[in-house]
Structure 1
Amino acid sequence: MRREHKMPFGATVLEGGGVRFRLWAPGVAEVSLERRTRGTGWTLHAMKSLGEHGWFGCDVAEAAAGDDYRFVLPDGLKVPDPASRHNPDDVHGPSRVVAPAAYEWHDDDWKGRPWREAVVYELHLGTFTPEGSFDAARKKLPELAALGVTAIELMPVADFPGQRGWGYDGVLQFAPEASYGKPEALKAFVDAAHGLGLMVLLDVVYNHFGPEGNYLHAYCPDFFNPAHQTPWGAAINFDGDHSRPVRDFFIHNALYWLEEFRFDGLRMDAVHAIRDDSELHIVREIAAAIRKGPGRERAVHVVLENEHNHVHLLTRDADGDPEAASAQWNDDLHHAAHVHATGEIDGYYLDYASEPRALVGRSLAGGFIYTGQPSVMRDGDPRGEPADSLPPTAFVSFLQNHDQVGNRAFGERIEALAPPHRLRALRGALLLSPHVPMLFMGEEWAATSPFLYFCDFGPELAQAVTDGRRKEFGRFAGFTSEQAQALIPDPNAESTFEASRLNWDERDQPGHRERLHEVRSLLAVRKRRVVPHLPAKPGSGRWQLAGDILFLQWEMVPSQPDGVCWLQIVINLGDTEQFGAAPTGRVFHSWGCRLAAGPSPRLPLLALSPGGGCAALLQLPAFDEDDDSISVFEAP
């Protein structure tokens, strides 16, 4: 199979030969095209005004895939194609014509996977392997599949300035980052993942462009709306005059990744920073286009990051299917768990400083913690919307991710900050809960490498970013002095990037090897016992904190049409052995748990060790009596 997403802009290889070039440039009176075939010099081609607001185009019969090209503005400025499919010489260099149909796919039978089966693994291409390439990451996919992961989430790959970066400063939305490899290598990565039964999600940034390499202001000011100001300047124009081509640009971008690269979904970065007062919000319009397009043929998912906890973007229809997004990153659970595990209350953790153990229970049971309550970090403004209508699978939950590690001054992972037993209890509850769990690369073996903030900007911007990064931490107690701030790694230094690479040799070392086995075992139990009963009933989550013991319960999909099913998880959040009433049900996972004498033989107690004691049970009308992996707590 050969696949191509048709677009009204950019460079399109024509079936009969030649290439069609299109550019929206309403800010200039004329545009020319420069083209070169490798080994030859540049040839100038006139572009015609197409009679519509700012559109220019030309068909070049002698052009072909592999040619380099760029647009020349009236003042002589030469700019890459904003819809470039490949920019081999970075974001300031020329674009290259790509024939997307040339790649032959091998995943003809792939129909995706239902969202309830998702176990997400977030990774950064540049630091995931020593080589930092699509090809090298592809070779690691069998290990992730064996771990029990079902969905790989790539941090943004849209071309960004320099050779190293997180990807959130991308400026060429259609061009895979050239330092990771050619577009064909990314397609081969997705193709191989599908062969292993893995979904692949792509993190996309539709709320801003990076500060370097964005030439749109020079010829297309209509791309931005000065009526909305953001930390990055004027907002992307989703709702002002002439916003239709802008909205189409991003709708096509979403469809491009899903159709031409066969991604199984998108994670939309910081949608709370998208400024759109239109009647139909751009997130909803993109989701609708996906449902009408690739979503008709296979399972495709949209995941949001949204500080505002907008439940209206996550609502389900009468059949339980998402009307817009499938899920949202659940920062609330992370923040509460982090405060409980580490005791830190700096920065945005301040909102979770009061009773963090109870907040862990509340978030695991119900998803969001902030559902309209005032936020201290937002000067008392309310945050969030009631989430009782959502199933737990609407929440992608985690103990760490790229933001929560990389936004720290020294990029420490949570294992360096919290006692192991607290993390073990939280990890057990998360991976066996009806939420969609997410791991950050290396978390499965307790990687010790930090994940620092790194970038590769030009000299002028580089110093400003370094200074700004260090001053940003001035509000934290440990970084009030310039001397302390100077110790923060320079984001632009190559050593900062190199320090963030995973050390795969750790996986076989004592302590790391045991963690890997623990995570693999938990995910195997999840697949066998939890996933068949998903999604849990919306609003059915219950929690109770008895001392340091957290009891959790959700109503699940029963095995029989008229039956009932309850999932229960019990964990010890304390630092000493705890005793509590033994719940009723069939135990399918336990660690650090035993039955102890209670007030009567009929009322035994459950003793949970301080080393991360955790038990998970199912209440079902019947179980396979020959299943020796099931035990029974004998409480009435």
Structure 2
Amino acid sequence: MSHSYSFGALPAPSGRTRFRLWAPGQPGVTLEIQGAASQPMTSEPDGWWSLEAEAMPGTRYRYALGDGPTVPDPASHAQDGDVDGWSIVTDHAHDWKHPDFKPRPWPQAVVYELHAGAMGGFRGVMDELQRLATLGVNTIEIMPVADFAGAANWGYDGVLPYAPDETYGTPEDLKALVDTAHGLGIAVILDVVYNHFGPAGNYWHSIAPDFFRKDIHTPWGDAIDFREKPVRDFFIENAIFWLNEYRLDGLRLDAVHAIADDTFLGELSARVRKATAGREVYLVLENETNDADRLEGDFDAQWNDDVHHCLHVLLTGEHDAYYADYADDPAGHLVRALREGFVYQGEVSKNLGHERGKPSGHLPPSAFVNCLQNHDQVGNRALGERIFALAPVDGIRSAFLLLLMAPQVPMLFMGDEYASGKPFLFFTGFPSPELAEAVREGRRKEFARFPAFNDPEKREKIPDPNAPATFAASRPEKEERVSEAGLHMESFISTLLRARAMRLGPHLAEATSLSAEKLGAKGVRAQWRLGDGAVLTIAAQFGDQPVPCTPGEGTILAESAPGVADAVPADGLAARSAVAWLKVA
């Protein structure tokens, strides 16, 4: 271990292991070791229980609560038999082949979000890394891997935050993935969930009821009580654990707006930075509140849903649910996002019914992660349709040009690069039939308010999240990638990323907005000054007619289709097209 952790089983070279659990209120805790006699643990102040015992790496163990059930270690580093099985004493020594790897500075990151299970587990992801490096990806972001109940899950139902799910592979497999990525120049970010636990396999209610608040609930269950120091330590040390023991290069913190404590995130950032001193570590948020203050030093960036929503409305015309906040003037809202970061900076959201956001124009472009798709925006659709099934391909190419050439950090979702038309559905694999039924019916009720699913018969066609076929339908297929459409899109994306890396990359850190304006009703034109004094201009038209456009100065950096840029001076920017120009200093 590179760090001393408060929780869990920490093996020593002597063959002995320290076991420690926070279980306030329990009259006693007994350590059970598979194939050996049970041993009572020693009470410590403030509700802690500990024991040092003979236990080599690989030993299976669990805790018998004096006033409750026998449970796995909530800080288990690996499991045998899913979340209800035995925890495994784990040796984290690894022969790292690239111990001195340094990721690109964050403004140069090109992120690729992926689901490890859908890509064949940790070893399956490893098999794709060379292709992604060749494409131009320099950072992968893995959806949560914390152990969840059942055979399949998005990952946001994890209940053992320190243990990689055994369906994906072993801790050693995950370390091999990270090491291989580093050898190819790819940084690895892990998505972590600190706002709730999944509905199956969470034993904290039995171990320590004070782990949860009695007065607050999240959309996914009881709110975690971050006022308790051991609770804060459990999650902050988890962040340090992933970064240090697995040499990950960053974390994406899921839905932090559901964390009911104003001080926790600041403490997490400070302790993580201290524990990883001397390394470049990325900390990225998902935060519905658009709290720009979090991005002024504690965290590097935030997923900017505003940009996704603007682009989606421009490409599809959809205006249900949260898209209603952007449907009145999607190009105008996109202009603000390109110029200042967030669209909502204190205005009232029609969808939420209250004010949202804080001023963000003072933040650098790299404080915002922009995408055309991600797991949420695809998978939270009833039928999991990707943008390629909803919009014309020339409009999508234009959106990708804007996304991949702009100074904000771009993110692709797995399959984007080859125009995948396969759905990415919401899937689970809960072993409990009762829970599976509840999830299935909850999913269908969720979409009852949408006009397309008012009819109960139509709702019955929404895929069952717990059906194995739903997970199978969401897995990438090589046939799509090698199809004509797939090869064309992959070539286009690769060309854009090569231009970004070679022409823009080193100068993105000091990029500042110069201007942004609408072109007609559905077009935008934006300019930035880069760190070397060069001026980047991007124009994109998402409407069905050409629109007048002043060409950018300098040379053509990229165009969504051959000849688009040449036509701009005389004929304007063509329908569903985009161009980027670069004027060197």
Give me the whole-angstrom Cα distance separating, in 2, the residues matched to 1:159 and 1:594.
Answer: 50
Which residue number corresponds to residue 122 of structure 2?
134
Q: CA deviation at 1:106?
A: 1.0
| AA of the residue aligned to 2:234 | F
Deviations 1:86-145 (A, max 9, x none): 0121101110111112x21111221222101100000001112xxx21112111100000
Listed as ranges, the gaps of 5+ residues in structure 2 are none
Q: TM-score, normalising length from structure 2? A: 0.97
Give me the whole-angstrom Cα distance separating, in 1, the residues matched to 2:246 and 2:472.
Answer: 29
Q: CA deviation at 1:230?
A: 2.1
SS of the aligned residue for 2:98 comes to coil
SS of the aligned residue for 2:141 comes to strand
Select 1:97's aligned residue among 75, 84, 89: 89
Deviations 1:141-191 (A, max 9, x none): 000000000100000000000010000000000000110011000000000
Q: CA deviation at 1:48?
A: 1.1
The alignment status of 1:354 with 2:328, answered yes or no, reads: yes
Give me the whole-angstrom Cα distance separating, in 1, the residues matched to 2:37 and 2:515.
Answer: 66
Give me the whole-angstrom Cα distance separating, in 2, the residues matched to 1:291 and 1:541.
Answer: 35
Q: CA deviation at 1:262?
A: 0.5
Give me the whole-angstrom Cα distance separating, in 2, the residues matched to 1:204 and 1:10.
Answer: 18
Runs of 4+ in 1 over 6 A off after TM superposition: none
Q: CA deviation at 1:75?
A: 4.5
Give me the whole-angstrom Cα distance separating, in 2, the residues matched to 1:401 and 1:120.
Answer: 11
1:576–1:518 CA distance, 2 compared to 1 (3 A): same
Q: CA deviation at 1:69?
A: 0.2
Deviations 1:539-597 (A, max 9, x none): 54533324554211112212xxxxx3221111222223334333322322234424459
The alignment status of 1:571 with 2:524, answered yes or no, reads: no
Select 2:245's aligned residue among 260, 276, 280: 260
Q: Contact 1:26–1:53 at 8 Å: present in 2 too?
A: yes
Give me the whole-angstrom Cα distance separating, in 2, the residues matched to 1:324 and 1:538.
Answer: 21
Which residue number corresponds to residue 274 of structure 1?
259
Q: Contact 2:27–2:67 at 8 Å: present in 1 too?
A: no
The alignment status of 1:367 with 2:341, answered yes or no, reads: yes
Residue pairs, 1:375-390, within 5 angstroms: 375-379=349-353, 381-390=354-363
Give me the whole-angstrom Cα distance separating, in 1, the residues matched to 2:216 and 2:512.
Answer: 36
| AA of the residue aligned to 2:376 | D
What count of residue pairs does the alignment treat as equivalent? 582
Q: Contact 2:6–2:233 at 8 Å: present in 1 too?
A: no
SS of the aligned residue for 2:447 comes to helix
| AA of the residue aligned to 1:79 | V
Q: CA deviation at 1:366?
A: 2.0
Which residue number corresponds to residue 300 of structure 1?
281
Which residue number corresponds to residue 245 of structure 1?
230
Which residue number corresponds to residue 287 of structure 1?
269
Give me the whole-angstrom Cα distance separating, in 1, the residues matched to 2:413 and 2:457.
Answer: 32
Deviations 1:269-301 (A, max 9, x none): 000011004xxx21111111121121x222101
Give me the whole-angstrom Cα distance separating, in 2, the residues matched to 1:549 and 1:342.
Answer: 14
Which residue number corresponds to residue 70 of structure 1?
62
| AA of the residue aligned to 2:429 | D
Which residue number corresponds to residue 634 of structure 1?
none
Which residue number corresponds to residue 433 of structure 1?
406
Give me the whole-angstrom Cα distance separating, in 2, the residues matched to 1:230 and 1:146.
Answer: 41
Q: Contact 2:286–2:302 at 8 Å: present in 1 too?
A: yes
Q: CA deviation at 1:338?
A: 0.6
Select 2:449's aligned residue among 458, 475, 499: 475
The alignment status of 1:312 with 2:293, answered yes or no, reads: yes
Give me the whole-angstrom Cα distance separating, in 2, the residues matched to 1:337 and 1:573.
Answer: 9
| AA of the residue aligned to 2:49 | F
Select 1:110's aligned residue among 90, 101, 104: 101
Give me the whole-angstrom Cα distance separating, in 2, the residues matched to 1:574 and 1:233.
Answer: 43
Q: CA deviation at 1:463?
A: 0.7
Residue pairs, 1:527-546, within 5 angstroms: 527-538=501-512, 540-546=514-520
Q: Contact 1:341–1:422 at 8 Å: present in 2 too?
A: yes
Which residue number corresponds to residue 628 of structure 1?
none
Give me the whole-angstrom Cα distance separating, in 2, the residues matched to 1:444 and 1:80.
Answer: 41
Q: After the TM superposition, which of the residue ranges 352-361 and 424-433 deviates more from structure 2?
A: 352-361
Select 1:202's aligned residue among 173, 178, 190: 190
| AA of the residue aligned to 2:62 | R
| AA of the residue aligned to 2:19 | F
Q: After the TM superposition, which of the residue ranges 216-225 and 144-153 deviates more from structure 2?
A: 216-225
SS of the aligned residue for 2:19 comes to strand
Give RMSD over aligned pairs. 1.6
Q: Contact 2:31–2:41 at 8 Å: present in 1 too?
A: yes
Give me the whole-angstrom Cα distance separating, in 1, the residues matched to 2:365 and 2:417.
Answer: 23
Q: Contact 2:196–2:222 at 8 Å: present in 1 too?
A: no
Q: CA deviation at 1:74?
A: 2.1
Q: Contact 1:22–1:55 at 8 Å: present in 2 too?
A: yes
Q: Contact 1:314–1:326 at 8 Å: present in 2 too?
A: yes
| AA of the residue aligned to 1:411 | G
Q: Contact 1:572–1:608 at 8 Å: present in 2 too?
A: yes
| AA of the residue aligned to 1:620 | V
Q: Contact 1:118–1:436 at 8 Å: present in 2 too?
A: yes
Which of the two has higher C-alpha Rg?
1
Give me the whole-angstrom Cα distance separating, in 2, the residues matched to 1:479 and 1:29.
Answer: 52
Give me the whole-angstrom Cα distance separating, in 2, the residues matched to 1:248 and 1:274.
Answer: 15
Which residue number corresponds to residue 555 of structure 2?
586
Which residue number corresponds to residue 47 of structure 1?
41
Residue pairs, 1:51-62, within 5 angstroms: 52-61=45-54
Which residue number corresponds to residue 86 of structure 1?
78
Deviations 1:424-477 (A, max 9, x none): 111111110001000000110011211000101111111111100001000000
1:33–1:265 CA distance, 2 compared to 1 (3 A): same
Give me the whole-angstrom Cα distance separating, in 2, the residues matched to 1:233 and 1:435.
Answer: 34
SS of the aligned residue for 1:266 comes to strand
| AA of the residue aligned to 2:205 | H
Deviations 1:475-507 (A, max 9, x none): 000111221111100000001010101001211
Give me the whole-angstrom Cα distance separating, in 1, the residues matched to 2:565 and 2:514.
Answer: 28
Q: Contact 1:399–1:427 at 8 Å: present in 2 too?
A: yes
The alignment status of 1:404 with 2:381, answered yes or no, reads: no
SS of the aligned residue for 2:158 comes to coil
1:111–1:445 CA distance, 2 compared to 1 (3 A): same
Deviations 1:320-367 (A, max 9, x none): xxx111000010010111111001111111111101122222222222
Q: CA deviation at 1:391?
A: 0.7
Residue pairs, 1:116-195, within 5 angstroms: 116-128=107-119, 132-195=120-183
The alignment status of 1:620 with 2:584, answered yes or no, reads: yes
Give me the whole-angstrom Cα distance separating, in 2, the residues matched to 1:112 and 1:72.
Answer: 43
Q: CA deviation at 1:28?
A: 1.0
